[in-house]
Structure 1
Amino acid sequence: MTKQLGVIGYPLSHTLSPVFQQAALDYHAIPVTYSAWPTPSESLPQTVERLRGEEYMGFNITIPHKEQLLDLVDDVNDMARNVGAVNTVVNRDGVLTGHNTDTYGFVRSLKEKANFDPRGKSVLLLGAGGAARAAAYALASEGVERLTIANRTVARAESLAEDVGSVLGEIETVSLENVSGDADLIVNSTSVGMASGDSAGQTPIKAASVPRDALAYDMVYTPAETPFLCSAQEAGARVLGGLWMLIYQGAAAFELWTGKHAPVDIMYQAAQQAMEQ
């Protein structure tokens, strides 16, 4: 019986996880297949139940299921509980444990690929979903000076601010239409601009809202140069796409499943080659 890993979400037409996770498995000669399992919300509970089977070592979760997974697993680690979102599940004898490795991937990519230390900085976070929750808790734990959350639905931004405020203190909230770009770091955690989404070709905020010399960070990784990053670069900002965050969170998941060191450079190279095809 071939052991299996995979990613669930919807849609999954452009996911890179199978490419770089399989590259890591092959590097270590681990006889496991990693696949994409497109899963609409209505079939999520049944899919998660099926993944308790002994042939499944675990799975990743992406948009739009990260928050719903909290109620479908048997246990969650502290970070996933704090964030309120699960992106990695480990299956041990039918018992499912949820983890959140997005926080690790986000911070490691900031520090290693943008040479950006969030401590003492001002941050504008666009979005208030599962990815935003991970970013907000990661930034709070890293000691940011000021955090502003902007979202189309301000009430959702306020809810996230209230949750994270227990760690960071008072957090400002604003609608995306009224964003002020006074920040050292601007993070897009929404799916706006994703190649496979309804908002392909769009940007969550205008270039005028991006201050010169800020770091613009887009969690979207397809396309590599999103409309948000292109407009930010034109405004004079430094930019970083979401591919390294994807690789680093995937590396943490890989190590949880296999106990082996994740070959991040090989994983990145595999993902980049797939994006260029």
Structure 2
Amino acid sequence: MTTNAFVIGHPINHSRSPLIHGTWLAEHGIDGTYNAIDVAPGDLSAFFERLRAGEFAGGNVTIPHKEAVFALCDSVDPLARTIGAVNTLVTQDGKVHGTNTDYLGFLGNLDAGAPGWSDALEHAVVLGAGGAARAILVALQSRGVKHIHLFNRTLETAQRLAAELGNGVTAHGFAEFSEIAPRTRLVVNTSSVGMHGTRFDNLDLALLPDTAVVTDIVYVPLETPLLADAKALGLKTVDGLGMLLHQAVPGFEAWFGVRPRVTTDLRARIEATLDH
């Protein structure tokens, strides 16, 4: 019997998820499908009825539905609740369970691209306090990072998020970066800065120790201005494409019963689509 999975969003034609999961389905010879489905916000409830009826084993959720699906799930795991967003759905016995694999994707990407990055890591900087930041902050907390410095253009937004998550997260304005940078071994950009030629102003990466890792969750372009600047200084950089690939692994395993591997061939296939 064919097992069906999906990614829903609005719009959705930009998604690389069908190519990722399609590659794994072929690789493992699984009788399954994974399709991109455009679901308008007003049609979400009806789509969940299709899920409960058994049409799909589950699927992924992307913009703008990651928060809205919360209320529609029959259960949501505690970590997804803390993150405040669901990106993976699993259907079982007519019930829909929501989880979030973005934090696993982030950790898997860094573990592969900068092995040992979290060993005795005391200070990390996170840029941006929007929806994407929450999964990254929870991921860093899960690795026991003692001091997580959250920088945002609007300080109040960062303060609210820091107060909500606690556990070592403190909020800062960008003027404080120069003071914190010298003891920081990890910088993560979770904002949209870096897309469409945008860049951070007055972020002096030269103040970071030479052991620092700089990573960006943006993957279009693959090398953002932030990563290019860090590379020019000889710092270790990790781009955002691996996060997309690694976050897909737990979902595929839940729906199709096989744990796939993120390979250089798969990465090359996705990378080849980024200019289109």
On whether the aligned pair clears a TM of 0.5, the verdict is yes
Residue deviations 1:50-101, cap 9 Å, x none?
4434221211122343233222211012221222221111122431101111
**Alignment: residue pair count:** 269
- Aligned counterpart, 2:113: 113
Residue aligning to 1:227:
225
Separation in 1 of the partners of 2:267 and 2:9?
21
Corresponding position: 1:201 with 2:197: yes
Counterparts in 2 of 1:84 and 1:134: CA distance versus 1, 3 Å: same
Q: 1:14 to 1:207 in 2, by over 3 A?
A: farther
C-alpha distance in structure 1 between counterparts of 2:65 and 2:79, whole Å: 17
Deviation per CA, 1:130-152: give whole Å up to 9, x if none: 32111101101111121111223
Q: Secondary structure at the match of 1:255?
A: helix
Tell me which moved more, 84-93 or 16-25.
84-93
Q: What's the counterpart of residue 79 of structure 1?
A: 79
1:206-221 equivalences under 5 Å are 206-209=202-205, 211-212=207-208, 213=210, 214-221=212-219
Shift of 1:179: 4.1
Deviation at 1:102, TM superposition (A): 1.4
CA positional deviation for 1:210:
5.8
Residue 24 of structure 1 and its aligned partner are, at CA, apart by 0.7
Give the deviation of 1:238 after TM superposition: 1.9
AA aligned opposite 1:58: G
Q: Could you tell me the TM-score, scaled by structure 1's length?
A: 0.85
SS in 1 for 2:198: coil
SS in 2 for 1:263: coil
Provide the residue aligned with 1:197 in structure 2.
none
Counterparts of 1:69 and 1:176, CA distance in 2: 33
- 1:162 maps to 163
Answer whether contact 1:14 1:222 (CA < 8 A) is retained: no
Using the alignment, how far apart are the partners of 1:101 and 1:74 within structure 2?
18
SS in 2 for 1:120: coil
Change (3 A) 1:67 1:204: farther
How does the TM-score come out when normalised to structure 2?
0.85
Contact 1:152 1:177 (8 Å CA) reproduced: no
1:176 deviates by: 4.8
Give the 3-state SS of the residue equivalent to 1:270 in structure 2. helix
Equivalent residues of 1:204, 1:228 under 8 A apart: yes
Equivalent pair of 2:121/2:185 in contact (CA under 8 Å): no
Q: 1:9 offset after TM fit, Å?
A: 2.9
- C-alpha distance 210-8 of structure 1, shift in aligned 2 (>3 A): farther
Q: Which runs of 5+ in 1 are unaligned?
A: 195-199
Supply the distance in 1 between the matched residues of 2:73 and 2:67 (Cα, whole angstroms): 11
2:91/2:97 contact within 8 Å kept: yes
Q: 1:185 to 1:11 in 2, by over 3 A?
A: farther
**Deviates further, 236-245 or 207-216:** 207-216
Asked if 1:242 is matched to 2:240, the reply is yes
Instruction: Name the aligned partner's letter for residue 202 of structure 1.
Output: T
* Aligned residues: CA RMSD: 2.5
Identical residues among aligned pairs (%): 38
